[in-house]
Amino acid sequence: MNVMDFQEVGLREINSTLQSLEPLSNNREWVIDNPMGQHAIACGLNAPLSVHIRGNVGFYCAGMNQQAEVTIDGHAGVGLAENMMSGIVRVKGNASQSAGATGHGGLLVIEGDASSRCGISMKGIDIVVGGSVGHMSAFMGQVGHLVVCGNAGEALGDSIYEAKLYVAGSVESLGADCIEKEMTAEHEQTLADLLERAQINKDVKTFRRYGSARKLYNFDIDHADEY
């Protein structure tokens, strides 16, 4: 295992070291100590690495992640795993706004709570939140899954496309064109698989499913006031 101390080597050295590793490199296990809440740690990784960050991180940690498994022992600031493509990003604490924004793939696990706009404009990413999420989560969600084991704030799934939302607790309000949908055995199996991958123990029977009513896909002059 390779250990880098943020206080000693700094952000540029840490990121350049991790980004320069080849996919077949034997140096796959890394630890980052003393992150001190700094921004953009472990961004742009493109190899099957295991990166363990011991402490809180700032904005945009693990952004654009591909293949790597990044674990954060603490809380994360704005834009955690933004635009991630594949791999796994896990935060043991809470995440601030816009976690998983525009994510195209991979799995983001937030064991605590997530703030507003979690999963905004998600494009294929799967997000599992062990706690609650704030307002406007999954806004314009296109593809992927958002699983919330706690409660959801106002305007959940506003202007949603085809992302699938599962919430165990209460929902303050649904956004434009987002409705509650039937929870079938197939959906329960999909949800069970996501919870298992996220290593979160929660009964699928406690969840409700939400998604697009598909009424905003095309402009209708008779409903112009609704746009």
User: Would you state the pLDDT for residue 224?
Assistant: 60
- The answer to whether residue 59 scores a pLDDT higher than 90 is yes
Dihedral sign for Cα 87, 89, 90, 95, please. Answer: negative
Per-residue exposure over 105-132, b if at least 16 CB sit within 10 Å of its own CB, e if not: bbbbbbbbbbbbbbbbbbbbbbbbbbbb
Q: What is the mean pLDDT of residues 92-108?
A: 98
- Distances in Å between the alpha carbon of 22 and those of 17, 88, 126? 11, 18, 26
- The answer to whether residue 160 scores a pLDDT higher than 80 is yes
Q: What is the mean pLDDT of residues 129-153?
A: 98
Q: Which of 6, 107, 114, 14 lies closest to 54 in space, CA to CA?
A: 6
At 1, the pLDDT band (50, 70, 90 cuts) reads confident
| Full-model pTM | 0.94
At 31, the pLDDT band (50, 70, 90 cuts) reads very high
Domains of the chain, first to last: 2-214 (2.160.20)
User: Would you state the pLDDT for residue 24?
Assistant: 77
User: Would you state the pLDDT for residue 142?
Assistant: 96
At 118, the pLDDT band (50, 70, 90 cuts) reads very high
User: Would you state the pLDDT for residue 83?
Assistant: 98
User: Would you state the pLDDT for residue 221?
Assistant: 64
225 φ/ψ angles, rounded to the nearest 5 degrees: -70, -15
- The answer to whether residue 227 scores a pLDDT higher than 60 is no
